[in-house]
A and B are shown apart, each in its own frame.
Chain A
Amino acid sequence: MSASENISEPKKSGVSRRSLLTSMGLGAGVIATTGLLSACTTVASTGSGATGGGVAAGSIGGSSYDAEIKKLVAGRELQIGWTPPILSEFFKQMESAAFGRMAELEAAYGVKWKWERSSPTGNFDAVEQQISTVRGWTTRKFDAVLVCTGANFATMQDVYQEASASGTAVFQFNQPVEIYAPEQISTVSNIGYDNRWQSGYLAGKFIADTLGGKGTVIQIMGPSGSDWTKARLIGFAKAMEENPGMKVLGTADGGYVREKGLNAAQDLLTRFRDVNAIYGENEDMALGALQAVDAAGLKSWDGKEGIVIVGADGLISGMDSIAAGKLTATIDVGSVDQGRTFIDTIFQNVVLGESVGKFINVPTRVVTKKNVAAAQAYINNALQPSKTY
């Protein structure tokens, strides 16, 4: 799997990113976490996802180990704040997975979780709302906050520094931290994936491989200037570069929403008649592109011919479409593993006082018709946590 080579791209200077250890391709354990919890995380996040997250309560590190940790935890209460940029299917999957992991840790170690979700509604003041959310949690002396935001990078670093100064540990999730200098990032840890090599590159390589290294692509991008878009594009461009037979005909802005993705795909399909593949940089836009392909009377990929349509994120709705033979593939960026992993990371760092890696990348995978059932089962299992908070 070439992902691991790409993850160790020399660009990322000095700092030993977690990703070097952890992303040994599909099927490997997520985070060989420092010490104590490694056993459980491996079980929890078997890449292809067949096992699911349901570890029987109380069996995490052997009964005597569990009992000792329980003594150390001593029924501690942990107040956690979680703020995604918007409430969506993707983040709902992640939150459910987090709940599942919290329930497991609670059963095994007696840690008492208090969870507060705060998600803006996408209106004009969404970004300001998240900033004041984190500040509010800092003021209320939360133990840990989890942030994923489209807000200004520098502003957030200020906010994070204030938080750490007053004793609130800050973690980011799903944030494209890879495009910033590691030393500028003021969080304890960043749980996510490398958008360049674990998403954009995978999509590009999948398209090239499927088409036999030769063909034309159109791109439906997220909003210009978005960090996610920037990062994924770097990886996608790299994959195109490695396959000189591939040609990117044109790009359009689909704003990460289906309606705009559909319109953009329609327009590009009108402009270019001979399109072999469409890269929708998130699933909603890819599904919109699929509708445009259908409406134009074109055929989507059937294994031999048609237009290859690839999305990214890994939503149940996208996977349903893959299972139905419509969407060709999507890049599952580990909504479930991110949720479980950030709970583990908080437990390790805030409760047990262990050191954690600053950059923890979960495995991502190309989901096609072949492995979609496993990926769906993994997410569906996570969507039914034994307890919600």
Chain B
Amino acid sequence: MKPTSAPSPRFTRLMANPSSGAIFLLVILIVVMSVAFPNFFTAINASNVSNQMVFVLLLAIGMTVVLITGGIDLSVGSVMGLSAGVGAYLITGGAPLILGLVATMAAGAFLGLVNGLMITRLGLPDFIATLAMLGVARGALFLWTGGIPIIGYMLPEYYVISGLAQPFGFITVPILIAIVAVVIVAVVLKYTSYGRHAYGLGSNPHAAVLSGVPVARVKVIAYMISGLMAGVAGMIMAGRNTTVAPTMGLGYEVAAIAAAIIGGAALGGGRGTAFGAVIGALVLSLTANAINIAGVSSSWQQIVTGGVLLLAVLFDRMSSLIRARSVRLTMRLAHA
């Protein structure tokens, strides 16, 4: 995880690019699957995959922001479940749909705020603070529901919002929401001072402090974005599942972190993009889809998933090495 030698800034910048290696792997996966299974490369399967990947994608975008600042958010799965519960409960109790949806997202952002404050104010390591939140939010949802799923909030509009009803054909509302989220986060990261601060804080915290980056605020906002994304994901999943079971979102944090890292983010901070998160989420969702389409026996599934993960990072590594070499070559040529 630690660089073995000091990387040149140019090299670092190249590494920060969204993973072209993962894209390469995606292309191979799609080509092989399309040739072998005629049902794979179809509009309906494309729609399936994009609807299935929305949750991991949303969580991965938020996770990417947190990772860029040098943090980690283990609580996203639990936060997703608890915020979905809040919204569903309100709607069941007669609140208008819009209030329920806003409450879901607000609950996510609030839990993110708590994460951020625990880390900046109490000085807890990110891992510990968000691990505690993982347990607390999940336990709260169980205690609150007593194990019984929340139902009865599925107003007709909710079917549209969650993509179960598809009035616009293959492009469902969740896909639109995900696109909007990707674009907003991408713009924030690239063109705002918040984005610059986040990358700065992640790549060199000490320097960031000295150069006047409002470290605590940048961190808290990152966790709030992650919480908000978990809230949005919870809002959509509550609709897609039509019930909020207390186990909702269990284990999603691992998928989110994996997607973000495949997409080029690093646990050390300073690297990652929203577009990379899309690629990462696509790799994971497409692998799961390919396993079902190809009919891989269920006991081999984990091995295949692990293998694809490993290939994804290997490809990424190779491509970045190649890029670095070509850069060195051009530089040498320029000197000569």
Contact = CB atoms under 8 A, between A and B. Distances in A.
B288 interface: yes
B19 interface: no
Interface string B42-62: 101100100010010000000
Contacts of A270: 39, 42, 44-45, 48, 293
Nearest to B254: A124
A284 B243 CA distance: 10
A283 B133 CA distance: 30
Interface string A108-122: 000000000001011
Given A92-B148, A266-B52, A270-B42, A258 B298 contact: no
A259 interface: yes
Given A225-B299, A253-B301, A296-B44, A317 B293 contact: no
A257 B138 contact: no
Contacts of B289: 263, 267
A94 to B, nearest CB: 11
Given A91-B147, A121-B139, A224-B299, A266 B247 contact: no
A207 interface: no
B49 to A, nearest CB: 9
Counting chain A CB atoms within 10 Å of each CB, which of B134, B151, B298, B299 scores highest? B298
Contacts of B135: 121, 123
Contacts of B192: none
A263 B293 contact: no
Contact of A317 (B149, B240, B299, B301): B149
A250 B295 contact: yes
Given A123-B135, A267-B289, A270-B39, A252 B147 contact: no
Interface in A264-279: 264, 266-268, 270-271, 273
A122 B250 contact: yes
Contact of B242 (A121, A291, A296): A291
A294 B245 contact: no
Interface string B24-53: 000000000000010100101100100010
Interface in B70-89: none
Contacts of A262: 240-241
Contacts of B227: none
Contacts of B166: 295
Counting chain A CB atoms within 10 Å of each CB, which of B147, B240, B250, B301 scores highest? B147
Given A257-B247, A263-B288, A271-B292, A121 B138 contact: yes
B237 interface: yes
Interface in B240-296: 240-243, 245-248, 250, 288-289, 292-293, 295
B147 A257 contact: no
Contact of B164 (A88, A273, A295): A295
Contacts of A273: 39
A86 B147 contact: yes
A376 B243 CA distance: 19
Interface in B201-243: 237, 240-243
B245 A88 contact: yes
Counting chain A CB atoms within 10 Å of each CB, which of B151, B247, B293, B299 scores highest? B247
B334 to A, nearest CB: 51
A251 B299 CA distance: 11
Nearest to B44: A270
Interface string A24-60: 0000000000000000000000000000000000000
B151 A87 contact: no
A302 interface: no
A89 interface: yes
B146 interface: yes
Contacts of A291: 164, 240, 242
Contact of B147 (A89, A123, A221): A89
A87 B142 contact: yes
A251 to B, nearest CB: 7
Looking at chain A's contact residues, the main secondary structure is helix
A19 to B, nearest CB: 28
Contacts of B42: 270
A339 to B, nearest CB: 14
B292 A267 contact: yes
B147 to A, nearest CB: 3
A273 B37 CA distance: 13
A271 B134 contact: no
Interface string B67-111: 000000000000000000000000000000000000000000000
Contacts of A294: 164
Contact of A284 (B138, B151, B245): B245
B161 to A, nearest CB: 14
B48 A267 contact: yes
A259 B138 contact: no
Nearest to B45: A270
B298 A271 contact: no
Nearest to B248: A259
Nearest to A223: B298
Contacts of B293: 267, 270-271
Contacts of B247: 86, 88, 122, 257
Contacts of B298: 221, 224, 251-253
A280 B64 CA distance: 35
Given A252-B298, A267-B293, A270-B44, A87 B164 contact: no
Given A251-B298, A267-B289, A267-B292, A121 B148 contact: no
9 closest A-B pairs (Cβ-Cβ)? Answer: A87-B147, A267-B292, A224-B298, A253-B298, A266-B48, A252-B292, A258-B241, A270-B45, A224-B299
Interface of B: 37, 39, 42, 44-45, 48, 52, 55, 134-135, 138-139, 142, 146-149, 151, 164, 166, 237, 240-243, 245-248, 250, 288-289, 292-293, 295, 298-299, 301
13 contacts: A92-B147, A121-B139, A123-B250, A251-B298, A252-B298, A258-B243, A259-B55, A262-B241, A267-B293, A270-B44, A270-B45, A294-B164, A296-B44
Given A119-B142, A263-B48, 16 more contacts: A86-B147, A87-B246, A91-B147, A119-B147, A122-B138, A122-B247, A122-B250, A123-B135, A123-B138, A251-B298, A257-B250, A259-B241, A264-B292, A270-B48, A271-B37, A288-B241
